[in-house]
Amino acid sequence: MLEDNWPGLFRNQLLDTLPVDKLIPFFSKNFGRPSKELYTVLGALLLQQAMDLSDEETVEQLAFNIQWHYALNLSEESDAAKYVCTKTLWTMRRIMIENNLDRTVLDSITGKLAKIFNVNTDKQRLDSVHICSNMRRIGRISIFSHTIHKFLINLKRHHNEQFEGISEELRRRYISPKALNAFALLKPSAAAKTLEIVSRDLLSLVDLFQSKPLIPEMSSYKLMKRIPAEQCEVSDASDETKITVKPSGEVGADSLQNPSDPDATYDGYKGQGYQVQVMETFTDTNNKKAKEQTLNLITHVSVEKACQSDACALMPAIADTQKERIAPCHSAGGCCLRRR
C-alpha cells in the first residue's frame, strides 16, 4: 500500500534528487553539535510545505506517521532517526531561503516529476498571485515613529553608551511602547505638524550616527536612512539641513510599508505585500474526461515586489524552465520556443 501511494513515489523517485550536497558547506565536522541527517530534514521540510503543516505538526508527523517514515526511508526505530526539534526546522529553512536553495529544490523536483508522469509542457500559462504580508497597515507617522523606536531599542541593546548620548527628550518620545502608541491617538488637525516633527527627529538620528563605527551597518539604521529618500525632500540650504515631507501622492509604491517587513511593497489594486509569478502546464481540450486525467504541473515560481509589473515576467519564466528542459513551445506573446 505504501509502495503504490505517494510515500513510494517520494522514496523511490524524489528523495535522491534532493540537493543535500548544497547544504554541506553550511556545517562543520569540527565545530558545533552533530546535525540531523540532511535527507531527513530536507525531505521533512518539503513534505511540510506540500501538506501545509506548522513546525509542530511537522515534528509530530515525522515522529509518528508511518507514511513519512517510508517516504524518507527511515527504518531505524529511534528518537535520533525520527525526531527533530522545531529549531532545527527553522534553522534549515533559513539556510535554504537565504541561499536560494528553495529554488534549487523546486527545479530538481519539477524536472523529475515531468519525466515520471510524462507531462506535456508544450502549453503553459503564467499569472501572478498577490500575497498579503503578515503585518499591520500603518500610516506615514507610524512608519517614521516605529522605525525610530526599532533603531533606539537595538541601539540601547548593542551600543548603550551611544544610546545615552541621545537627548532625553527624543528618547522619551520614542523608546517606550506607551509613548509610541500616543502617535496613534493624534487628531487629524495635528497630523501634518507631527509628521514634520518625526521626520526631523529621524533625520537628526541619521546625521548623528552616520560617521560612527558599526552603527551605520545596523539594519534598523539602514531603514531610518531609507525613509528620507522615499518620503522626504532633503536640502542643504545655508548651514542647516532642511527636510520637507513629500505629498503622499509622490511617495513611490516601493517605499517602506512597515519596518517589521522591509521588503513588502504596495500595489494600488491589491494592497501591501508581495506578488508571486506562477507558471503551470495546461490542456485546452474540450474533452472533460481527458482534462480530468491530465496532470497540470507548476513549472516556475518567482517571488517579486507587489509593485512590479507583470509585463516583464514572461521571459524570465521561460528562461527558468529552459534550464530543466520543460519550457513551453509557445509563449503567451506568440514567440515560438523549442526545448534544447
Instruction: Tell me the HSE value of 121 on the side-chain side, using a 13 A CA sphere.
Output: 25
Report DSSP state, residue 257: S
State the DSSP string of 140-207.
Answer: HHHHHHHHHHHHHHHHHHH-HHHHHTS-HHHHHHHSSHHHHHGGGG--GGGHHHHHHHHHHHHHHHHH
Residues 6 or more apart whose Cβ sits within 8 Å of residue 121: 114, 281, 297, 299, 321, 326, 327, 328, 339
Closest CA to 13 of 73, 61, 77, 83: 73
Question: Phi/psi at 265 (nearest 5 deg)?
Answer: -130, -165
- What amino acid occupies position 70? Y
Please report, in tens digits, the pLDDT of each residue of the chain (340 residues total).
899 999 999 999 999 999 999 988 888 776 555 566 899 999 999 999 999 999 999 999 999 999 999 999 998 888 778 999 999 999 999 999 999 999 899 988 998 999 999 999 999 999 999 999 989 999 999 999 999 999 999 999 999 999 999 999 999 999 988 888 888 778 888 999 999 999 999 999 999 999 999 999 999 999 999 999 999 998 876 666 788 999 999 999 999 999 999 999 999 889 999 999 999 999 888 888 888 888 899 999 999 999 999 999 999 999 999 888 888 875 444 444 433 3
Question: What's the grid cell of residue 68?
Answer: 513519512
pLDDT of residue 279: 95
Strands 265-267 and 271-281: antiparallel
pLDDT of residue 33: 57
What's the predicted TM-score (pTM) here?
0.81
Would you tell me how many other CB atoms lie within 10 Å of the CB of residue 204? Answer: 15
- Radius of gyration (Cα) for the chain, nearest Å? 26
Report DSSP state, residue 336: B
Residues 6 or more apart whose Cβ sits within 8 Å of residue 231: 140, 143, 144, 199, 245, 246, 251, 255
